[in-house]
Every structure is written in structure tokens, then in C-alpha cells.
């Protein structure tokens, strides 16, 4: 394996970045995920009502609220992963991208499409006796970062992820499927 590509190297880089940027990442996460959590709680509370007891307008409002919660959760997760990728891959050390700059630069539609294809492909593979799902996920897990970092489209991101050198794919599979080593 190449230098720094092993599982320990991946964990060390992730830990170092998280330590160095913990405050920024926590504030950004709170800014994004606290409102999303409150919206999720509101949807759960509203969803605990029996639909038969609601008027047609209230039922339509409940469906719209649930759909809005799903869409905002998708955008929030894509935005946060894009901000983290931008911080790690596109910024100089000590330089932090502003949330507005990240929001303007991110290809939300492409990232959501990649995430949906990856989730559906992995789920279908898991239904087909687990191994195909793990293989699918391992081959294509790099597609979302490829979109964020290399500004590629859906097909190009999946092709780039699949064409990654075997050592990188094996290191990714090990990092995703194993427990972090104890220091």
C-alpha cells in the first residue's frame, strides 16, 4: 500500500482535522442539525395523530410537513458534508470556507442524486445476500466526495469512484467496515 493510504493513516488524518477544526465543525453542525432536529420532532409529534381524525386540509398539511422535513434533511446533510469536504480538500490550513460560499458552490442536485443512487444500489445489493451490497457500496462510496471535490456529474462521479486504484478502495473498505484502532 502507498504511504499514508492505510487505515491508520486515514484515521490519523481524520482525527487531526477534527481536533484542529472541532469548534468550526460543531458550530456548523449545530446551526444545521438543531433546526432539522426540531423540525423532525414536530413531524413526529404531528404524525402521532390518527389521520382519520384530521380534516382533508390538515392531512394535506401533515403530508407537506413530512415532505418538507425529508427535503430539508437531505439538503442539510448534503450541505454539511460539502462544508466538511470543502474544509478538508479545498481550503488551506487554518482557512475556513464561509457557509454562504459553500452553499453557492455546492451542486445540491447532483449530490442528492448520487446519495440516492448509492443508497438504493446498496440496499438492493444487501437484499441480494449482503455481499453485493457491500461490494456496491465499497466501489462507489467515493462518488459523493468526488462530486464535492472534483466537481463531476453523477455518472462521472460513479465512474471515478469505481476506477479508483484497488489500494484506495481496499483502504476505504477497511476504514468503513472496521473499528478505529486504539491508540
pLDDT one-digit tens code per residue, 37-81? 888 887 777 666 666 666 777 777 777 877 888 888 888 888 888
DSSP-assigned letters across all residues of 110-142: HHHHHHHHHHHHHHHHHHTTSHHHHHHHHHHTT
**Nearest in space to 144 (alpha carbons), one of 104, 114, 117:** 114
pLDDT one-digit tens code per residue, 125-163? 777 777 777 777 777 777 887 887 777 888 888 888 887
Give CA–CA dist 118/142, Å, rounded.
10
CA distances from 36 to 58, 77, 112 (A): 22, 10, 17
Of the pLDDT bands very low, low, confident and very high (cuts 50, 70, 90), residue 172 is: low
Give CA–CA dist 84/26, Å, rounded.
11
Of the pLDDT bands very low, low, confident and very high (cuts 50, 70, 90), residue 3 is: very low
Residue 112, pLDDT above cutoff 80: yes
CB 154 within 8 A of CB 108: no
Q: What is the pLDDT of residue 4?
A: 44
The residue that leads in pLDDT, 22 or 96, is 22
Residue 100, pLDDT above cutoff 80: yes
What letter would DSSP give residue 3? T
Stated pTM of the model:
0.64
Q: What is the pLDDT of residue 126?
A: 75
Question: How far is CA 173 from its chain centroid?
Answer: 16
Alpha helix segments (H runs only) across 48-165? 56-85, 99-105, 108-127, 131-140, 143-150, 154-162
Amino acid at each position: 500500500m502507498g504511504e499514508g493510504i492505510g487505515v491508520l493513516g486515514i484515521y490519523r488524518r481524520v482525527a487531526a482535522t477534527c481536533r484542529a477544526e472541532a469548534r468550526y465543525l460543531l458550530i456548523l453542525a449545530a446551526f444545521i442539525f438543531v433546526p432539522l432536529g426540531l423540525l423532525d420532532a414536530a413531524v413526529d409529534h404531528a404524525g402521532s395523530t390518527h389521520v382519520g381524525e384530521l380534516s382533508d386540509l390538515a392531512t394535506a398539511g401533515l403530508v407537506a410537513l413530512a415532505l418538507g422535513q425529508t427535503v430539508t434533511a437531505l439538503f442539510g446533510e448534503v450541505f454539511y458534508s460539502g462544508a466538511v469536504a470543502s474544509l478538508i480538500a479545498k481550503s488551506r490550513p487554518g482557512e475556513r470556507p464561509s457557509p454562504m460560499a459553500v452553499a453557492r458552490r455546492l451542486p445540491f442536485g447532483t449530490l442528492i442524486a448520487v446519495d440516492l443512487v448509492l443508497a438504493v444500489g446498496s440496499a438492493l445489493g444487501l437484499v441480494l445476500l449482503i455481499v453485493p451490497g457491500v461490494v456496491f457500496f465499497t466501489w462507489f462510496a467515493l462518488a459523493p466526495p468526488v462530486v464535492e471535490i472534483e466537481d463531476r456529474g453523477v455518472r462521472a462521479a460513479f465512474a471515478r469512484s469505481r476506477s479508483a486504484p484497488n489500494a484506495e478502495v481496499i483502504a476505504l473498505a477497511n476504514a468503513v467496515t472496521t473499528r478505529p484502532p486504539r491508540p
